[in-house]
Structure 1
Amino acid sequence: MATHLRNLFLLCPVIAAAWPGFVAYKERTCSDPLDIWSDGDLIDNSTLLIDRSITDVDSHAGGRYYENMTFPAAKATGDMDTDAGTQFVYWKVEDPDPTCQFIMMKDTPRGWQMLNEMPGAEILRVAQAGCYYTSLNPNDNLITSYCCGRDDCAIAEVEIQSNSPKDTSGEIAPSCTIKRSYSATPTIQDGKQIAITRPQTCEAPPACTHSITQSSMVSTALAHFQSYSWTTEEGVDVHFESGVDFLLASKMTTGISFSIAQSWMDETGTTLTETNITAAQEAGRQEAGSVAFYSFIPQYDCWTGDVSCGNDQDGNEKVLEGISFCQPRLATTGDPAGVFRMVYTSG
């Protein structure tokens, strides 16, 4: 589909209707159209275009943004306290190309530049035509995107947790120290969205609930967006790859990521943190006639600075710039702080 979309753009740059899109409706059969507005402007054909790839980060930040969305004629949910102020909005979607998926996300107030490749919080992901439910609030910012192929779509597979550090330096690593900290006060960042229940079909009107039956882990993270490679004065080759390492205290005891994390722990007076999202914390509401899973978006306290990891073989100091160290935020209960969200899918 990626090639198909690019070709379509070249051939029909002014025909917006040629793009696939999420078309808004008032009810689950997608037969009664719903007018939708973005920043006070009526959206043509009630359609949010899907014309930017989740991997198109440099030019389009991974999706098309629709700000301050309103749905004046949408039915209010209001069935439970947690639904207060939200509205039913259904979306008709045509079949994506084979191997492709369409994705709808909510923007997040803190942004996703640090701990996640997604530009927003996923609320809908579909691989086949249908009429899909979302629960939205007035003035939500929405992001549409698509992915094609296993590697690209893996970014959107929030059901899969990847907590293994990416060190390739073996057990020998230089000792690192904080050379410069940009701020003594941490910033709050949203972490990687985590699926905390399996997808389930809801066949019990008016709604079903999701209870967390197995704990999911939230752990210390080290974020870095530039790869580094050098040979130390001792002749040890060190490699530090771009991305985010989620560090586990039970597994992370050696390597360059641990050395950098240790320098930050010394600086911040913290230790590697592991905390679980448990069954006692939440139960989520799923609309009848849908397939969905329940997710959690943890919040982190993050410090950013430059880290010195000794000298290279030529005697030059090796400084890694803009490395972020992030600890899970904890609620007063000791549980991880964050946001629970239902994610609807095509099954």
Structure 2
Amino acid sequence: MLSPTEFLSLLLLLPTLASAQAGFVAFKEKTCSERLDIWADGQLIDGGKLIIDHALRERGDFNGGHNYDNITFPGAQATGDWEKDTGTQFVYWKVQQPDPTCQFILLRNTQRGWESLSQLPGDELLRVSDEGCYYTAVNPNIDLITSFCCGRDDCSIAEIEVQYPSPEDTPNDKAPSCTVKSYDATPTVEDGVQIAVTRPQTCEAPPACTHSITQSKMVGTAVSHFQSFSWTTEEGVDVKIDAGIEFIVESKFSAGINFNIAQSWMDETGTTLTETNITASSEGERQQVGTVAFYAFTPQYDCWKGEVSCGKDQAGNEVVIRDVNFCQPRISSTGDSAGLFRMVYISG
């Protein structure tokens, strides 16, 4: 929960954003002296500014931010002759000072149903808490999202480089067994939660810095549902499921309802509890000189959607949990988790 001080800051920020039109203003070089034109869906963006007028916490109404689709930067320079940078451009963003406890966030929209497995509306490209001129590497025809957060609780969603402990599934030997009632037999590909795989570091001088993954991160089986459920079973046991995502891992003792739901899907789809590593070559993506950044990975999942029956309630009615997603990590040809690596720039 937000403290009274944090809540006041959030309330104060809203009119500030509306009146001053805080935003990300595009520039051609690192001194933020020469502005860039921005085109979105064939329309010139006024002043080359992507306004910030919706917060992460507004996810239900505005998908957690302000969307700008099919953006191009005709005057931006190419980032270089690296093969991996083909078509990528330098874009620097001038950002004003956020209010205390607040951060401005620029994200890239993902195309695979982000709402299933992430509380963010997209993958982070830039997150700042101090005014300045900040670098990003972007591709033409990109879809971008502006957002902001205020207070520790809201901003913890965006601080993906901080490894918060996973919620523990409360052991409950009396949790009801579940069976899949109906589902779409063909899984869809979904983007998972963006995960930091290196610590933030400063790149102070040429040659351009690279990031090496020194500690393996795990991606595992997940279940998610969009509604909260609670009932009392015929045996008199109270059961509660909160809307959200539960990543089921073998390293955590799971005997509760979320694990039972996952098990019912594994039985139905012929899969098993999966854990796979995030790995990369020792030389990862390069970091731009004069920046603070960390390397991040967005895993891909195969997800089945449907509904699950978890016994009967105290009145004898069948308990059906709808809009359940059961997701297994996609595995690349090398046996690692499939997905996309991306550099995330921050203000330090």
TM-score band by shorter chain is over 0.9
For the 8 Å contact 2:120–2:158, the answer to whether it is kept is: yes
Unaligned runs of 5+ in 2: 1-8
How big is the shift at 1:152? 0.6
- Could you say what secondary structure the match of 1:57 adopts? helix
1:207 deviates by 1.5
1:214 partnered with 2:215: yes
2:144 counterpart of 1:142: yes
Match of 1:158 in 2: 160
Q: Check the 8 A contact 2:171/2:255 in 1, yes or no.
A: no
Unaligned runs of 5+ in 1: 13-17
Secondary structure of 1:313's counterpart equals coil
Cα distance, 1:307 vs structure 2: 0.4
* Corresponding residue for residue 296 of structure 2: 295
**What one-letter code is carried by the residue in structure 1 that aligns with 2:244?**
G
1:63 to 58, 62, 65: 65
The answer to whether the 8 Å contact 1:30/1:90 transfers is yes
Quick one: structure 1 residues 176 and 221, their matched pair in 2 at CA, closer, same or farther if it must change by over 3 Å?
A: same
Q: 2:139 & 2:280 partners in 1: Cα distance?
A: 27
Q: SS of the residue aligned with 1:55? A: helix
Q: Is the Cα–Cα contact under 8 Å of residues 35 and 42 in structure 1 kept in the other structure?
A: yes
Does structure 1 residue 304 correspond to structure 2 residue 309? no
Query: 5 Å matches for 1:225-264?
Result: 225-264=226-265
RMSD, aligned α-carbons: 1.6
Tell me, in whole angstroms, the C-alpha distance in 2 between the residues paired with 1:324 and 1:103: 28
Q: Which residue is 1:318 aligned to?
A: 319
Give the match's secondary structure for 1:30.
coil
What residue number does 2:186 align with?
Answer: 185
* 3-state SS of paired residue (2:326): strand
Q: Deviations over 1:140-182 (max 9, x none)?
A: 011000000001101111123457355446332111001111x
Change (3 A) 1:224 1:281: farther
**Aligned ranges 1:279-290 → 2 under 5 Å:** 279-280=280-281, 283-290=284-291
CA distance in structure 2 between the partners assigned to 1:282 and 1:319 by the alignment: 49
- Which of 304-313 and 197-206 deviates more? 197-206
Q: Secondary structure at the match of 2:57?
A: coil
> Which amino acid is 2:32 matched to?
C
- CA pair 9-95 structure 1, distance change in 2 beyond 3 A: closer
Distance in 1 between residues matched to 2:285 and 2:173, nearest whole Å: 43
CA contact (8 A) 2:175 2:257 kept: yes
- Does structure 2 conserve the Cα–Cα contact (< 8 Å) formed by 1:2 and 1:53? no
2:12 is paired with a residue whose SS is: helix
Cα distance, 1:7 vs structure 2: 3.0
Q: Secondary structure at the match of 2:341?
A: strand
SS in structure 2 at match of 1:125: strand
Shift of 1:72: 0.8
Task: State the distance in 2 between where 1:184 and 1:161 align.
Answer: 34
Query: Structure 1 residues 168 and 253 mapped into 2: Cα distance closer, same or farther (>3 Å)?
Result: closer
Contact 2:88–2:140 (CA<8 Å) still a contact in 1? yes
User: 2:272: which partner in 1?
Assistant: 271
Match of 1:195 in 2: 196
Distance 2:292 2:173 in 1: 45
* Whole-angstrom distance in 2 between the partners of 1:162 and 1:172: 29
Change (3 A) 1:165 1:327: farther
Cα pair distance change 1:70/1:85, threshold 3 Å: same
**Given the superposition, is the C-alpha separation of residues 282 and 180 from structure 1 closer, same or farther in structure 2, using an over 3 Å criterion?**
farther
Alignment partner of 1:19 is 2:21: yes
Moved over 2 A (4+): 4-10, 160-172, 278-282
Shift of 1:250: 2.6
Query: d(CA) in 2 for partners of 1:115 and 1:211?
Result: 26
Counterpart CA distance in 2 for 1:161 and 1:299 is: 20
Partner residue, 1:99: 101
User: In the alignment, is the contact (CA less than 8 A) between 2:232 and 2:313 conserved in 1?
Assistant: yes
* Contact 1:252–1:258 (Cα < 8 Å) also in 2: no
Instruction: Determine the structure 2 residue equivalent to 1:37.
Output: 39
Bigger mean CA offset, 307-316 vs 280-289? 280-289
Residue 109 (structure 1) shift: 1.5
1:174 aligned residue: 176
Contact 2:106 2:145 in 1 (8 A): yes
State the AA in 2 paired with 1:103.
I
Is contact 1:213-1:279 (8 Å) kept? no
Distance in 1 separating the partners of 2:131 and 2:164: 30
CA positional deviation for 1:204: 2.2
Q: Distance in 2 between matches of 1:107 and 1:282?
A: 26
